[in-house]
Structures are given as C-alpha cells and as structure tokens.
Chain A
Amino acid sequence: MTVSRSRPAAASRAASPVRLTADGLLRELREASEKIARGSRRLAALTEDQLAIATAPKDEVWRQDMVRLYRYRPVGAAPTGVPVLLAYALVGRYPMIDLEPERSFVRKLLAEGLDVYMVDWGHPTRAHRWLTIDDYVSGYLDDCVDTVRARHGVDRVDLLGICQGGVFTTCYAALFPHKVRNLVLTVTPIDFHGDRDRPETGAGYMNLWARAVTPEDIDRLVDTVGVAPGALVGFAFLMMNPVSNVTKYTTELVDILDDEAKLLNFLRMERWIADRPGHPGEVMRQWFKDLYQANKLVRGELVLGERRVDLGRITMPVLNVYAEGDVIIPNACSRGLQGVFGTTDYSELAVPGGHIGTFVGGKAQKVLAPSIACWLRERS
C-alpha cells in the first residue's frame, strides 16, 4: 500500500503529503533493483513458443495480392449456421483478436460454435499506394465474401467489422446488401462528427486533429508519403498518450515483472504493436478527407467507385458494439445509430474497457463473444 489515507496530521504536514525517508528510498531502490534483475533473468529465459501470437489453428483458403482469407478450424462439433467473416482495420493487424489463447476473441467465437473466417489485409507495399476504399470493399472484401459463399453454398454471410474494418463492412453491406445476412460492428466510427456536440475529455484526438488540418494538408501528406509507413501510424497512436507511454516502459513494466501472465501479455501486445502495416495513401486520403473531415458516410454522400454508399440499404439486422472507455473512437461517433441504417432490427452492446481492451480485456472477453454469438443465433 503506497498511497494511504490517514487521519489529518498537523497543519504543517497536511501541506506536504509526500512521506519519503532516506531509508525508505534506499529500500525501494534495492527492491526495485532486485526485481529488475529477477525480471531480466525471467525475460532471458522466454522462448518463441511462449510469445507466439495468433495461434488459433487456421487454414488459408484464398489470397490475392497481399490479402489473405483464413478459415479457423472449428473446435468441438462441426459448426452450424452461416459463417461469420471478420474484417479488421488496416492500421493494425488481425492477431489482436487472437493475441493469446486465454484471451482470444476468435477462440471464444469458435467455442460458441461459430464458423469463423478472417480477412488478413497483409502489409501493403509501395505498389499498393493507389488502393482505394472501394478496392478494399468492392474488390478484396467482395471476393472474400464470394469465396465463403461458394465454399458453403449460401447466399449470404454474417459480417463482423472491427474499427476501420467496421467502416469497410458497413460500406459493403450498403453496396451488396443481398450478400449480407447480419452485420456486426465493433468499435466502429460511423458519425465522424458525433464528438462535436458531445465532446469527451481525453477522447477523440484523431477527430480533432483531422479537423485542425486542411484537405490540402491531407493531400500533401498522402502525396509525399505514398503508403504511410507503419512506424508513422504507430507514432500517431503513441503520441495520443505520451505520458502513459513513458510509464508503460518503466514503472508499469517493473510492476508486472513478477507476474508471468501479465508479463507475457505485455510482451505479446508489444509484438502486435510492432507489427504495424503501412497504410495505403489513397485510403488514407479518403479516410481523413471524406470521413473525418466531411463526415460523408453518415450523410449518405460517400461515393466508392461510382456508387454512393446509402446506409438506408442496410436493412439486415445490425448489432453495434462500442467500448465504454474508447478514447480512439469516441462513443459519440459509434453509438446511437438506430436511425442511420435502413434496418428495423438494430441493437447496441456496450462492453467495458477501451478500444483494444474490447478484444483483450478480461471483463470484455466475458461479454463480447457470447453476446455476439447469441445475437447471431437469434437471427439465424
């Protein structure tokens, strides 16, 4: 117990609550040093197998360019019902939803008896700088959906989008409604200006930043970087919480050294963070100009290819999952969307934790997969 509550002492002491002594400081230094030495030895003994991420067994069933489609091997009895196709964002990679066996969103979906497919967008290179959102939606994603439909002989599949992947699946459901049975969105921004009327302290820095720069700034950024390097994207996320990132690599790391489970979780998370793909420039241009700046998606003004994305065409059931503590996608941008879509079957699910915690947090893990599976079963 390092921060304690006690009876107020003399007035002179009440003004200085810091109670450090020379002996205490030296003891703390000695203990921390010993802990760091122990932790260092523990780290040195770790193996590749212990740090492996995305270990749920899966098979590649389709590929094009750098994009892969995987089918996860079912657990237990053969899955029943229509398969669910998961689409992650471009700014990170899918291992987040299968970070470690004990906290794997994918494994929990499989345990619920779902037949799970996953799009891996891969690592775009310079050759992919001209890829647009339409290329992802009407190209890769549509091919993935068609592949799943063909493999299972079904007309429609269930789609589950995550963050930016949720925007892609939303666009897909609007453009290809006859191929989507149910749409599940998780931590997905739809109303990119929702935070204007309902600002949340500490949340939505990206929204504010995107509106602080001009469309010409975005154009120049895209023109000069082509494919935004993964490190640049990572830096943007790092600077959203600069102080937390100081303590993350110092005091917080020291705190967990004696807890192997937490230490492994930390290292696996770092492994995921390091695997940051580049972001195709033209997608970035549309993402910031059309969505963050002009908010075209919710206004029904977004055009992909030569087609307008009309959210009114999303008449299939929609489950919208948002994270209560999401600071990357403010709740005001991702919830309260019942009038936005054409469906009469709209549900919202709030999960505890933050943007990433939705998929790896202990509390969220107990809620997310079971709720989604239940919701899908009710609509099968």
Chain B
Amino acid sequence: MPFDADAGAARASEPLYAWWFSVLPRLFGVPVDAGRAGAGVDRDAASSAGDGTTAAGHDGAATHPFPVDLAQQALALAQGMIETLVGASLQALAERRPGDEAQALQGLVQARVAALADPVAALGRMLAGSNVAALGSALNGAPLAALGEALAPWSLNLERAYGGLADAFGLAPLRQLEQAVREASLAMLAHRQAQLEYLEVVAGAAGQGAQALGARLAEMGRSGESVDSLLALVRLWARVTDEAMHRAMQAPRALEASAKLVRAATRARAGQQRVVAIVSAALDVPTRTELDDAYREIQELKRQLRRLRKGPLAGDAAAAGPPPAQAVTSAAAADARPAASRDTAVAGPQRSAPPVPRAPQAARPAKAPARRRRVKEGGEP
C-alpha cells in the first residue's frame, strides 16, 4: 500500500510526532538543532525533519518515503542524547566519584522532567503571587477557584448596571461574547492548573523510577553483577523506570489527576467553542452545532434507508437465505460469476450447529505446534 494513499492520516499524526520529538530533546538536554541534523546523521536526509514535516510529499519538503525522515530525526536526537550522557559521565569520572555515572543519569533525567513542568509551574507561581487583593492567601491552595470567586462580583455588577442598556442597543451578542470569553479564559487557566498537577504526578513517578534504579543497582552490586556500558545503563534505567511509572500512573492519585486533566481540557475546549459559536452566529456563519445537526440528520436518514432496505428486525429473522445480489458492487459483480457457480460448488453443505456438545479438543496447527501454544476448553490455563 503506497503510504500517500492515506496522506491525510500521516498528517493527522504529525502533531503527535512533533510533540514527542520536542519532548525528547528537552528530556535529555539535547540542543534543539540536533532535531534537525546530528553529528553523525546524513544532513541531507534529515534536512526536512526538524520543522515538524513528517509526511512524504507534504509541502514538497520530504524527500524520502515515510517515515525515513522521522527516523533520521530520531537518530539525530539519539546522537545528541548519547553525547550528553557521555559528557555527564566523564564529568562524574573526572571528579573521582566512581559509581556516580548512574547518579548523573538519574539527575539528568529528573532535572529535565522538572524542567518540562516549569512553564506550567511558572504560571501557577504567577497566579499565587498576584497582588489582586480579592485573591488573597487562598490562591496558594486553590488559585483558580479563588480567581473565579474574585471576578464573579465584577461580572454580576456589570450585568446589573449595564446589561439591559446594552441589550437595548442591540449589543447582546457582544455581552454574550464577553461572558463567554471570560468563562473560556477561566477554563483555560483551570486547564493549565490541571496540567501542572498532572505533570507533578508524572515527575513523581519518574522520581520513583530513579529510586528503583538505585535499588536495582544496589541489588546488582550485592550479587556481583556489573554494568560496563553507558547504553546498557540507559536500557536498565528505562526498564526499571517503566515498571515504576506503570505502578505510579495506575495509582488512584495519578488516575484522579488524569481524570481532572481530561475534565479541565474538555471544559476549556467547550468554552473556546462557545466563543467561536457566538462570533459565527453574529456573522451569519454556520456554527459547529448547526453543521453537526445537519450531519446527524443525514445519518438518521441513512439509518431509515437501511431499515427500509433490510427490514427493521433483520437480525431476528428465523431463517435467512443468501441476500439479494444487488448489494454487490459492479466490481464484485464482474467477479461474481465464476463464483456463483464455482464458490457455491466448493462451499459444500453447512452444518447449522454442533449436534451434540463437543468434547474438549485442542486446535491442531497444521504445522509443528510452537512450544508455548496452549488451547484450553473451559478457559483455565
């Protein structure tokens, strides 16, 4: 299947790759340019990868079949990551701290995870440090709720004083828009707050991974095992951190943070959509709701058509023969004849149900069975 047959799908995935490849450099402190071309990487091959362009043929930038350019970009990041880790390890060795290479790795990753959370944390700090009297000390505990409370009287008083007047001058949409923008802004702030809380959980989970790595290394030390390669150390870190993160992210606190994030994100999106809807309606542009209503009606008409074609209770028919052949497309019809005779001939008689309950039996592969294959009757291993 030539991939450009579904170029739309590749483009849909671009934001995902772009996000991921922006996280990786920050996680390992790799220079941003490494995302475009690393020391050992074919620069021509990687030239189109750094700007988020990932699909073959997209804007004419990519010159290789998808996802070669992405892989080139990943290699550049890997090169940068390895250089960074080697540098940190050499520094640890130079300072005569044998065994600190693992600490250097842990410290590097933890610092980077913390750095990822910084932009959001900064927002939280900004809110907490606000001079608005109404926010008061409550901001430290629940800044956004306090912000909303502080703004509420303003909104109410403005509405009482000028609401009717504005309506009289035909400015109702403007007032609706103002209200919607205010609500959307608060929802977006709440979204940021939820992101911060979620990132704190992720950082904590990564920290547990670092602790797990320390414990694992100590265990290896006691049993006489050793790690004599930096990449092996990275692999070990990834394995134990993955396990630790799974445990941490499945814990109630992390699940609650995730649910809160979804809640906040969707409320923020709903708020944005409401703003756009008000503007659209004011400009006589079809709104999202109107468009969706049209699609819903079309879908319902399709269902009615299907019921007319098949009958309302087609599934409950006591007996069913082969359906009418008009369902077959012209392409199928062209092929369907030889099959009408040939395939019918090879289909043979059909048994409607097992006449008696079957005894337990294993599915026998035609070829030699693999050692671990298990077929169970009754569901127990």
Contacts and interface: CB of A to CB of B under 8 A. Distances in A.
Interface string B221-239: 1111111111111111010
Contact of B339 (A131, A151, A247, A254): A151
Contacts of A312: none
Given A26-B86, A51-B65, A149-B322, A253 B71 contact: yes
A317 B363 contact: no
Nearest to A375: B363
B211 interface: no
Contact of A2 (B231, B343, B348): B231
Contacts of B351: 181, 379
Contact of B346 (A5, A53, A79): A79
Interface residues of A, number: 160
B10 A337 contact: no
Interface stretch (B129-137, B154-162, B247-255): B247-255
Interface in A199-223: 201-202, 205, 208-209, 212-214, 217, 220-221, 223
Nearest to A339: B379
B236 to A, nearest CB: 7
Given A53-B1, A59-B335, A307-B315, A213 B20 contact: no
A24 B228 contact: yes
A348 interface: yes
Contacts of B375: 347-350, 371
Interface in A330-380: 335-338, 344-352, 363, 366-367, 370-375, 378-380
A286 B37 CA distance: 45
Given A208-B250, A251-B78, A267-B68, A231 B2 contact: no
A249 B77 CA distance: 8
Interface string B54-89: 101000000011111011101101110111001001
Interface in B37-63: 38-42, 44-46, 54, 56
A127 B300 CA distance: 12
Given A220-B270, A374-B364, A19 B227 contact: yes
A273 B250 CA distance: 24
B230 A129 contact: no
A143 B340 contact: no
B373 A127 contact: no
Given A44-B42, A212-B259, A347 B361 contact: yes
Contacts of A317: 354, 358
A22 interface: yes
Given A40-B45, A142-B314, A221-B262, A17 B221 contact: yes
Interface string A225-263: 110011100110010011111110111011001000000
A102 interface: no
A78 to B, nearest CB: 7
A161 interface: no
